[in-house]
Each structure stands twice: as C-alpha cells, then as structure tokens.
Amino acid sequence: MSSDKKWIVVTGATAGIGYSTAEIFAKNGDNIIITGRREDKLKELAQKLEKDFSVKVLYYAFDIKSKSEVLKFVDDIKSKNITPDVLVNNAGLSRGLDKVQNASFDDWEEMIDTNIKGLLYITRLVIEMMVKVDRGHIINLGSIAAYQPYTGGSVYNATKFAVRAISDAMNLDLIDTKIRVTAVHPGMVDTEFSTVRFNGDKDRADSVYNGIATLTADDIADIILYVANLPERVNVQHITVTPTQQRSINIINRNNIFE
C-alpha cells in the first residue's frame, strides 16, 4: 500500500489530543494510522476522516501496554509497505492524585506501563523502520509535569520526566540521521484526562478547570502539525505551552479573565 502522501501514526486517537491530531493531519492531506483501545471509536473516526478529507485511514485497536500487540501492529503496517513519516506518541494517562504514602500500586503500574513502556515499545520499532529510509519525525506528548513536580503526582511526574529524558536521548542517538524528535509539553488541556485520572468522576474532573480558559485539544494539534511540517533542517526539540491563566503547575489565575 504505497502512497506519495505522508503516513502519520497517532496513538491514543479515540479522544482528546489524539483525535484532534488525526483530524488536523487528515485535513492537511496526509494518510492516517490511528490506534487506541476502543475499536468502535476508531472505526467511527476512520470513516469520518476518509469521508471528510479523502485520505486513506487505517485503524488498529490494541493496548499499547502489550508488547506483543505492538509487534503485531508494526508487522502489519510493514506487510502493507508503509513506513510512517510521523509517529505521534499521544497515548498516555494519569491515575489518582494520592500522595506517595497512600497511592495505589495498580495506578502506578498502569501509568508506567502506558506512559513509558508503551511509548518505548512502539517508538523502538517505528524508529527502526525510519532509520532504514533515513527520514521521519517522532513527536512525544509530554507535560508541564515533566518539569515541575506536584503533590499527589509522584509517579505521573516520573513518567513525564521520563518522556522528556527519552526524547533528549533519542535526539542524541539519531544525530547521524535525518530523523527528528520533538516533545510537546502542555499545561492544562480540557480533555478526558482528568475524568480518567479520577476514574470517571466528572464533577471532580470539571472542578480542575473552574475559572480557566484552558488549552484545547485543537490547540495542541495545531502545534504538532506545525512542528511536523517545518523544513527537514529544523528540529524543535521541546515546546512547553500553557493557558494564559497558568504560568506553572500551581500558579493559576481562576478569575474568569476571558469571560
């Protein structure tokens, strides 16, 4: 399945930043490969993108925590003669907001397995493909939490510090190639993030954003598209972006200044 258009892989594409990223690249005329755990959502998005933008869209439902499933995914796109031009590592999550002395081991393992190990599994295999053709761009979704720890965020912070460090190390490892690595570190974005963190407690999730004109998923997708389409000689290694009302993890103006 060859094409003159670029192929863009977006993980965690069923909602939020991943959904918006897949949509904006399709609008740009690129072919899209979307992954996630909710097959019904992936199928619905694939059909929408194909109809609205006349691009090719493939979807794969699997859990990025499973190395065997990631291997199966990569083997399948190889069988279709596809080498991704861009890999957007968006899949990730946070669980809980407990202090380290009270936190759940299960929550820790889910965050580590998804945010670090899952990212590494797919990146390792896709970069191997990119190196063979000496082109490509890895874009990792980090967080402002990669720079500033906060109470109750010990392991989530650790996973995002890891994404930042992995991105830096990857840039060093790839110095003798044309492959670029960018980490995008958002502050507050109103997506499913807090709902997932609080295990579906929508009221608690909504309270996180009270009084704030947050970033949107589309804002982050715009940034991802921008860095991916810069000239090949330009490598934006890190971008940190926050709402105007948020200047650090905990320095936030909740006075509805944009209403």
- Give the catalytic positions in this structure: 156
Residue type, 47: Q
Tokens in use for 64?
Answer: 């990025």
Q: What is the CA angle 156-165-17, rounded to 5? A: 55
Tokens in use for 48?
Answer: 């929408």
Helix H segments across the chain? 16-27, 39-53, 67-79, 105-111, 119-133, 154-173, 193-197, 202-207, 217-228
| Sign for the pseudo-dihedral over CA of 166, 22, 132, 175 | negative
Cα–Cα distance for residue pair 40/55, rounded to 1 Å: 20
Q: Which residues, at least 6 apart from 220, have a Cβ–Cβ distance to it below 8 Å?
A: 17, 20, 21, 141, 184, 186, 189, 241
Pair type for strands 86-89 and 57-61? unpaired
| Closest by CA position to 25, among listed 79, 82, 78, 85 | 85
Q: Which residues, at least 6 apart from 40, have a Cβ–Cβ distance to it below 8 Å?
A: none
